[in-house]
């Protein structure tokens, strides 16, 4: 009976749908963009203006709205790069 337990998005080792992969990649890009904008703004920490410095964010931990298998599949398809430690980046 333990064989029926599977992660969301996968049913017993079946492929993840293209729609799920597309939505996950879109969510990843949006999260990465927001992370970069947040770092570039530097409005917190007592700085009244932006620093004007470009973000040096290389990768992020992907949104947890999708299971890890989705992110690994995107990395296998070379749509994302697995940086290790749960971090992914755009290729």
Confidence at 14, pLDDT banded by 50, 70, 90: low
Q: What is the pTM of this model?
A: 0.73
Has residue 32 got a pLDDT over 60? yes
Whole-angstrom distance, CA of residue 38 vs CA of residue 79: 24
Q: Where are the beta strands (DSSP E) in 1-91?
A: 81-84, 87-89
Confidence at 50, pLDDT banded by 50, 70, 90: low
Has residue 48 got a pLDDT over 60? no
Higher pLDDT, 36 or 25: 25
Closest CA to 61 of 52, 71, 70: 71
* Residue 27 CB neighbour total at 10 angstroms: 15
Has residue 56 got a pLDDT over 80? no
């Amino acid at each position: 009976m333990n064989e029926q337990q599977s992660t969301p998005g996968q049913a017993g080792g079946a492929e993840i749908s293209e729609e799920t992969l597309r939505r996950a990649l879109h969510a990843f890009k949006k999260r990465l963009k927001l992370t970069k904008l947040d770092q570039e703004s530097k409005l917190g920490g007592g700085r009244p203006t932006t620093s004007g410095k470009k973000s040096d964010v290389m990768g992020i931990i992907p949104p947890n709205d999708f299971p890890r298998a989705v992110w690994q599949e995107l990395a296998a398809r070379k749509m994302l790069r697995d940086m290790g430690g749960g971090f992914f980046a755009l290729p």
